[in-house]
Amino acid sequence: MKPQILVTRAVFPEVIARLSQHFEVASNQSDELWTKAELIEKLKGKVGAFTNGSDRIDAEVLDANPQLKICANMAVGYNNFDVDAMTAHKVLATNTPDVLTETTADFGFALLMATARRMTESEIYLRQGKWTKWSYDMFAGSDIHGSTLGILGMGRIGQGIAKRGAHGFGMKVIYHNRSRLDAATEAECKAHYVSKEELLKTADHVVLVLPYSPASHHTIGAAELAQMKPSATLVNIARGGIVDDAALAKALREGRIAAAGLDVFEGEPKFNTDLLTVPNVVLTPHIASSSVPTRMAMANLAADNLIGFLLKGKALTPINPSAAQA
């Protein structure tokens, strides 16, 4: 009999068909949002789960399903996983790094440009029939080319954004990270390491690409926004919770920074509705990796992790490899 797995959210039918070659698959192709109690019940008897960022895997879920061996997240982020609890329960956690790097960097730069050039504001103005004449300062934004780009979090995606800015737009790139990059990578990105304070004070455009953790919660709050230039923009494609969204809405309303672009929010899919009351913000619903080829690659990597671990004892991208050895 084939091992049983659960696919918690809708995914490409081709991926379900592929998994079905190896497993007895229970899938949620109707894409219902389950409560924790429902998730616990649907995991009964399953040795593997193909999960999504909306699925909280914690001690309560694991205690109720001691047969579970692996949860394969279709995401590079995994703050929906209690990794310590998973390791203690000998449940492997995996994610999907690398395959979404370039697509997410593309989107991050697109969001930066839309924010700096006030594209959302101007489109709404046009759609509402308010465009009746040209004026010299109509939706005048800030330049990208030749400006200073500050990146907080210089992993693969941050480096991709840096290269686009430095090589494509002649931007001066500065960055801050938990650890400084090696000299060769800095040269490839044309990026210079600075303190967080220097970055906030200097950058014309600040892009956030750091992982979420309790330590990075509200990395950008009222105090940090106060350090930025009034003409600066802020873009968050990292995770909700890294920015204090209430403080950001207030700063935007008061003109303490020029504009913001957000693809992620605290408590998403719910978000702070104060952000809807300020015009100088571009809002997108967590779609930075959403191209068809990239989402297919993410889904296939999550499937590869399930197949590799449950059939061959080896996952491709483990987060807590010690869980498999415990």
pLDDT of residue 39: 97
User: What pLDDT, in 10s, does the model give residues 124-181?
Assistant: 999 999 999 999 999 999 999 999 999 999 999 999 999 999 999 999 999 999 999 9
166-173: long-range contacts at Cβ-Cβ below 8 A with a sequence spacing of 24 or more?
A: 166/190, 166/191, 169/144, 169/145, 170/145, 170/146, 171/144, 171/145, 171/146, 171/147, 172/146, 172/147, 172/148, 173/148, 173/149
Mean pLDDT over residues 48-64, rounded?
96
User: What pLDDT, in 10s, does the model give residues 9-50?
Assistant: 999 999 999 999 999 999 999 999 999 999 999 999 999 999
pLDDT of residue 89: 97
Cα 138 → chain centroid: 33
Instruction: Judge if the upstream peptide bond of residue 269 is cis by omega within 30 degrees of 0.
Output: yes
pLDDT at 187 over 60: yes
Residues of the chain with pLDDT > 90, as a percent, come to 95
pLDDT at 326 over 60: no
For the chain, domains (ranges, CATH) are 4-99+292-325 (3.40.50.720), 101-283 (3.40.50.720)
Mean pLDDT over residues 217-225, rounded?
97
Contact residues for 18 (Cβ-Cβ < 8 A; gap 6+): 300, 303
- Of the listed 164, 176, 239, 295, which one is catalytic? 239
As a whole number, the mean pLDDT across the chain is 96
Is there a catalytic annotation at residue 286? yes
Residues of the chain with pLDDT > 70, as a percent, come to 99
pLDDT of residue 176: 98
pLDDT at 213 over 90: no
pTM: 0.91
pLDDT of residue 77: 87
Mean pLDDT over residues 273-277, rounded?
97
Is there a catalytic annotation at residue 268? yes
User: In the block, which residue shows the tokens 């030749």?
Assistant: 146
Classify the phi-psi angles of 3: left when phi > 0, otherwise alpha if psi is within -120 to 50, otherwise beta: beta
**Position 255 confidence tier, pLDDT thresholds 50, 70, 90:** very high
CA separation for the pair 170, 173 (Å, rounded):
9
- Of the listed 217, 218, 253, 286, which one is catalytic? 286
Strands 148-152 and 92-94: unpaired
CA separation for the pair 266, 87 (Å, rounded):
27
3-state secondary structure of 272: coil
pLDDT of residue 324: 82
Measured from the Cβ of residue 128, the count of other Cβ atoms closer than 10 Å reads 8
* Residues 279, 285, 291: CA angle, nearest 5 degrees: 125
Sheet holding 24-27, edge to edge: 24-27, 4-7, 48-51, 70-73, 92-94
